[in-house]
Structure 1
Amino acid sequence: MAGRFPVGQRLRILDVGMGQGTQALRLARAGHSVTGLESDAEMVATARQTLATEPEGIRERFRLIEGDGRETGAHFLPGAFDVVLCHGVLMYVQEPDAMLAGLARVLAPGGLLSLLVRNADALAMRPGLAGDFPSALAAFGSDSYTNRLGLPGRADRLDALTATLAGIAAPLHAWYGVRVFTDGADNDAELPAPEDLERLLAAEDRAGRTEPYKRVAALLHLCGVRG
């Protein structure tokens, strides 16, 4: 976003599948007008509780809607947003093309579509590095997996999503890898000391922008721009 839009521009942002609103609230605090769309009632309730503790100006810039990301046409007009975020959602959508077309539809010309998806071409990395070679072998050529909560998920491939973005008039502008070195960390692992954490994040950022490392990241961050 910082590289796409002028510094200080107040953006209209839609966060699809916002969860408990952590990302959306950060953007509202930064001065943007944010709409959070979430289908899980408990997540929406948590977001409302958190929002209630924010200053009035932030509450006025934040709109919460309980709804499905596959039904954006029922909630929003075409071209209503400068930025649409869809992070950690597509892995639970079996037929994502229609949803992606709907997200592109609500983008203004020149708007940014930001997707965070599971990388199907790297599904063997986590079990392989953990020494689970039967699971690693089964992951080759697959686009399905089970996440750490035991829920089934679906992964995407860069080439296929690139073609989809071109087909919905939001062609790929840039892409990055996410969790290149840290995907194997335990969920309850303690953060390292501040100076070590700084180095870790620097290494992840560098790897996520650099070939060939970013191609084996657990997640892919794709940015399309509406024509």
Structure 2
Amino acid sequence: MRQELVARQLDEQIAARFPVGRRLRVLDVGPGQGTQALRLARAGHQVTGLEPDPRMLAVLRETLAAEPAGIQERVRLLQGDGRDTGAHFLPGTFDVVLCHGVLMYLPEPDAMLAGLARVLAPGGLLSLLVRNADALALRPGLLGDWDTALAAFDSPAYTNRLGLAVRADRRETLTATLAGIGAPLYAWYGVRVFTDVAGDERPPPHADELHRLLAAEERAGRTDPYRSVAALLHLCGVRGG
């Protein structure tokens, strides 16, 4: 659900920013399983994945090896931290930079965001997917976990589904940060408005229901006030210049 919604939103922003058919230079910081990186490579773009975890990098290399040769040639995988983009890339190297599900692991994201903006070409697109601190109490509240819900009103820190201590971000704060690093917010979406409390082991619905569920989530993710209480926020900034 998350990956499909983000893909649709990202494609919408790419279509709005770049000419049809242009082959883009994409950096995916923390690509994980490589869902978005491989999807963009299949669409013809040149993709660089920067992954700090050697185990995830090995899994991604194995996945890439199963792709056709033409797609493999369009993907470059590097081990590295998104906070050190200056050590790997020159300024203005990329047209699109993705940073999805990464900021939650950083105590302070501003330095990393500045580095990501630095490697964007003028007019380039910065795509961020973050946990929504303004809706942090919603999931535990709907599940009846009142202590966790009450704590979420006072702190952006929380424990994710993997059992890791992480943090959420507020749209207002990130909007100010993006403006300060020269990549002001251009568009934003909510992701997982209705499905955040669904269990990880729950089987996917049949095709017709899934189609309607995606339609409802996509509509809510771009409509106020629903998008403001989504579990995740997808923010898109555009590099000035």
For this structure pair, what is the TM-score category when the shorter chain's length is used for normalisation? over 0.9
CA distance in 2: counterparts of 1:7 and 1:186, whole angstroms: 39
Write out aligned runs for 1:98-113 (5 A).
98-113=111-126
Identify the match of residue 170 of structure 2 among 157, 163, 176.
157
| Cα distance between partner residues in 2 of 1:134 and 1:50 | 41
Residues of 1 paired with 2:66 and 2:150: CA distance?
Answer: 49
Equivalent position SS for 1:2: helix
Q: Which amino acid aligns with 2:69?
A: E
Task: Describe the superposition over 1:50-101 as per-residue Cα deviations: whole angstroms up to 9, x where unpaired.
Answer: 1112112111111000000100000000000000000000000111100000
- Find 1:208's aligned residue among 198, 221, 230: 221
Deviations 1:158-210 (A, max 9, x none): 11000000000000000000000000000111011100000000000000000
**Distance in 1 (alpha carbons) for counterparts of 2:88 and 2:30:** 14
- Does structure 2 retain, via aligned residues, the 8 Å contact 1:15–1:36? yes
Unaligned ranges ≥5, structure 2 = 1-13
1:131 aligns with 2:151: no
Cα distance in structure 2, aligned partners of 1:206 and 1:119: 18
Give the structure 2 partner of residue 53 of structure 1.
66
Following the alignment from structure 1 to structure 2, what is the Cα–Cα distance between the partners of residues 129 and 4? 38
- CA deviations on 1:144-169 (whole Å, 9 max, x unpaired) are 00001110111000110000000000
- TM-aligned CA deviation for residue 20 of structure 1: 2.3
What is the aligned partner in structure 2 of residue 168 from structure 1?
A: 181
Q: Distance in 2 between matches of 1:188 and 1:26?
A: 25
Instruction: From 155, 159, 175, give the equivalent of 1:142.
Output: 155
Aligned Cα root-mean-square deviation (Å): 0.7
2:236 alignment partner AA: C
Q: 2:230 aligns with which of 212, 217, 224?
A: 217
| Aligned mates of 2:34, 2:200 — CA distance in 1 | 20
Equivalent of 1:19 in 29, 32, 49: 32
Letter in 2 for 1:125: L
* Number of matched pairs: 227
> Which shifted more, 94-103 or 19-28?
19-28
Hey, what does 1:120 align to over in structure 2? 133
Matched, 1:78 2:98: no
Q: Provide the C-alpha distance between the structure 1 equivalents of 2:33 and 2:206, rounded to a whole number of angstroms.
A: 27
- How far off its partner does 1:141 sit? 2.7
Please identify runs of 4+ aligned residues in structure 1 that moved more than 2 A: none
Q: What is the TM-score with the length of structure 2 in the denominator?
A: 0.93
Among candidates 88, 101, 104, match of residue 88 of structure 1: 101
What are the superposed Cα offsets for residues 105-148 of structure 1, whole Å, 9 maximum, x if unpaired?
Answer: 00000000000000001010001011111211111031100001
SS at match of 2:234: strand
